Amino acid sequence: MKRVILLAGHNFKDKGCHVNLEGKTINEFDLTTWIVAEIFKKERLINIDLVAKARNDYKDLVSEINSLNADILISCHFNASNGISQGTEVLYAHTSSKGKRLASVAQDILVKHLELNNRGIKATKQADRGGSILNKTKPVAILLEPFFLDSVKSFDELISLMDKTVDSIIQLLEHLEKNEL
Ligand SMILES: [Zn+2]
C-alpha cells in the first residue's frame, strides 16, 4: 500500500494569494484546505493510505512531513501573477527523476481536465518558491498549481475550476494506486 500525503498549502497566518469576487476575498488557504477535505471525502481507493495534512509546526514542516513516512507528497497550491495570466503547472525537485515523472503524469491529467494553458512542469531548486518542501522531504514530491487564482472572474468559474481540480487529483491517486513510481 502506498502512503500519500495530500498537503494543504499555506496556513492561517500566511494565507497565500487571493482573489476578490463579488465583494468577498477568497484566499489560497481557503481553497487548499477545501480541496484536501473534498478529496479525502470522495476517494474510494483501497490501496492508497491517504493522509490529509495541513501545517502544524511553523518551524519545520519538512521534518513534520518526514515523520509521516509517506511514499508520495502532493502539495496543493494555486498560482497568482498579474490578474491576467492563466494556466497549469506542476513543480518537482530538480534532482528527482521519479518526481519529474510524477509531475508529468499530474500535469497531463490537470491539463486534460482544466483545459487551460499548459505551462509545463518546472524543475525546482531548494532556494526556489516551494523548493524546500520539494527538495528536503523524503517522499517523492510534487507541487500542484492547477490555475491562477487571481485571474478568476466569478464564483461560477472558481467552482468549475475547483471541481475539475478535484477530479484531476482523484485520477492522479487512481494512477498511483495502479502504477509504480
Ligand atoms: Zn501557494
User: Each residue of 32-78: pLDDT tens digit?
Assistant: 999 999 999 999 999 999 999 998 877 789 999 999 999 999 999 99
Among 172, 144, 178, CA closest to 42: 172
What is the tens place of the pLDDT at every residue in 111-131?
A: 999 999 999 999 999 999 889
Provide the residues around ligand 1 (an ion) whose CB is within 5 A: 9, 16, 77
State the pTM of this model: 0.97
Length reported for the chain: 181
Contacts of 176 (CB under 8 A, 6+ apart): 2, 4, 48, 72
Quick one: DSSP state of residue 151?
G
Between CA 174 and CA 179 the distance in angstroms is: 9
Whole-number Å distance, alpha carbon 65 to ligand 1 midpoint, is 17
Domains annotated for the chain, with CATH where assigned, are: 3-178 (3.40.630.40)
Between CA 106 and CA 36 the distance in angstroms is: 16
Whole-number Å distance, alpha carbon 72 to ligand 1 midpoint, is 19
Whole-number Å distance, alpha carbon 45 to ligand 1 midpoint, is 27
Mean pLDDT of all residues in the chain? 96
Whole-number Å distance, alpha carbon 174 to ligand 1 midpoint, is 25
Whole-number Å distance, alpha carbon 62 to ligand 1 midpoint, is 16
Tell me, rounded to whole angstroms, the distance of Cα 132 from its chain centroid.
15
Whole-number Å distance, alpha carbon 128 to ligand 1 midpoint, is 13
Whole-number Å distance, alpha carbon 76 to ligand 1 midpoint, is 8
Strand ranges, E, within 28-149: 48-53, 72-76, 88-93, 118-124, 140-145
